[in-house]
Amino acid sequence: MRNAEELIARDLACVWHPCSQMRDYETFPPLPVVGARGCRLQLADGREVLDAISSWWCKSLGHGHPAIVRAIQEQAARFEHVILANTTNELLVGFCERLLALANPPGQRHFTKVLFAGDGSSGMEIAVKLALHWQRLQGQGQRTRYAVLANGYHGETVGALSISDLGLYADPYRPLLFPSLVLDGLPYRQGPEDPRWASAEAEWPALAAQLAAQAETLAALVYEPLLQAAGGMRVYSPDLLTRLCRWARAHGVLCVADEIASGIGRCGAWLASQLAADALPDIAVLSKGLTGGSLPLTVVLTTERIYEAFLGSWESRRAFLHSHTYCGNALALAAADAALRAIAEEGLCERARTVGARLRAKLAARAHPRLSAVRGLGMVAAVDLLGCAPQARTGWQVYRAAVARGALLRPLADTLYLFPPLNAPWDELERMLDILIASVDAVLGRS
Ligand SMILES: Cc1ncc(COP(=O)(O)O)c(C=O)c1O
């Protein structure tokens, strides 16, 4: 215990934790982790805490999945990292082939090429640059803007913040950001259980009018397909995706799907875009669960139409000159290849659909008077705290109460949610849910 206290003191003396008000750690210190298996984090004082948020939505196979650990160890014995420009290897090519086969409809070659980045935000930067550059190569240099969705979030780099719509993260940096067209009035639904899930007909005319006003200046439409995670775990009708993609195709605008949180099984399919008709994008960005949450890796999938526009002689200056040092890192690729196999072998896309629906039904059945708007998709269940003033930081208090009861939640303001590993056993999912409810009881009571 003394060791843990010392560690916290040393931590606060030198570590600047991400996305945190560091003052908060003075009253509620970071949890000293000594091990992690499946959904469970083991703490220095012997307690176990259930990771109900998959460690920022990435640990889709839980902690320490044996196939991923083995793949990383075996690859480390061969080589860890080699420059991706000018070299190739069997692991890299096999992984790209496997991923493209999962992303494409059976027998089709919609996506044909894979670019690499590290974190999700840098993948979004690639997508933004590719779209603008592609339009320019088509002689469409006036297409310099992006249409994005209200409440959207695409990361924290300057470009990613410019196409996001969450002032909390963007406001201090406004002078650096480029303007985007923010589409308002989305067809939010509770999820597949909602009778209005399959139709966005009522909301579409107003959205189409916003797009029409800017049609000639748009390089791309950028969106999180179906699930807006950081924007409050909101889900919208797949019919919107279908309509957006059809509109974009008809108006020379590219579609960029940010599948960083929604992809790799989370929503119940390899890509959330696959859950809507006729909605495969021109560019898709995948990250987070791609390596089972073990190492940073982002891929940007594109179609042949995008790729071909960049071909030419060196002098033509058509090449896409974008790189990150650790593009295609071999350890991350080995982990990702193992994760894709494990998700397929363990049937986790299907499980996310069925078990996620059961989890939401159970949450709705608890009918807590201080909770409303149960919603979600795949293995995501979210709910809002009712009647709490923002300055009361009730979500933060619920987080503290939940840790004391054995679960790591990380509410988005007053939205509580479970975003557990796709393979979390049912009894652990029930325990997460029980702790969520008990923590709300502890902070707000039932009146
Ligand atoms: C939809 C979405 N896009 C982009 C990002 C940014 O990814 P990263 O944090 O790896 O840069 C996130 C992260 O939460 C995300 O949820």
Output the domain CATH number for residue 37.
3.90.1150.10
Split at pLDDT 50, 70, 90, the class of 446 is confident
Number of CB atoms found within 10 A of residue 396's CB: 17
Q: What is the DSSP letter of 29?
A: P
Give me ligand 1 centre to Cα 55, in Å: 13
Same domain, 257 and 149: yes
- Count the domains in the chain: 2
Same domain, 191 and 107: yes
Give me ligand 1 centre to Cα 246, in Å: 26
Same domain, 47 and 195: no
Q: What is the DSSP letter of 312?
A: S
Same domain, 341 and 352: no
Mean confidence (pLDDT) of the chain: 97
Same domain, 138 and 88: yes
Q: Given 328, 345, 362, which residue is the final one in a domain?
A: 345
Same domain, 295 and 319: yes
- Three-state SS string over 201-265 comes to CCCHHHHHHHHHCCHHHEEEEEECCCEECCCCCEEECHHHHHHHHHHHHHCCCEEEEECCCCCCC
Q: Is residue 130 part of a domain?
A: yes
DSSP string computed for 153-187: ---SSHHHHHT---HHHHGGGGGGPPP-EEE----
* Probe target for ligand 1 pocket from 288, 291, 380, with the most ligand atoms within 8 Å of CB: 288
Pocket-forming residues, ligand 1, beta carbon under 6 Å = 119-121, 124, 153-155, 224, 229-230, 258, 260-261, 287
Which pLDDT score is estimated for 314?
Answer: 94
Split at pLDDT 50, 70, 90, the class of 202 is very high
Q: Given 320, 345, 370, which residue is the final one in a domain?
A: 345
* Probe target for ligand 1 pocket from 59, 287, 300, 326, with the most ligand atoms within 8 Å of CB: 287
Q: Is residue 284 part of a domain?
A: yes
Task: Please state whether 5 falls in left (phi above 0), alpha (psi between -120 and 50) or beta.
Answer: alpha
pLDDT (tens digit, 9 = 90+) per residue, 341-377?
A: 999 999 999 999 999 999 999 999 998 999 999 999 9
Give me ligand 1 centre to Cα 223, in Å: 12
Give me ligand 1 centre to Cα 293, in Å: 13
* Probe target for ligand 1 pocket from 54, 55, 59, 121, with the most ligand atoms within 8 Å of CB: 121
Whether the pLDDT of residue 1 is over 70: the answer is no
Give me ligand 1 centre to Cα 107, in Å: 30
What count of residues does the chain have? 447
Residue 401, domain extent = 31-64+348-444
Q: Is residue 14 part of a domain?
A: no
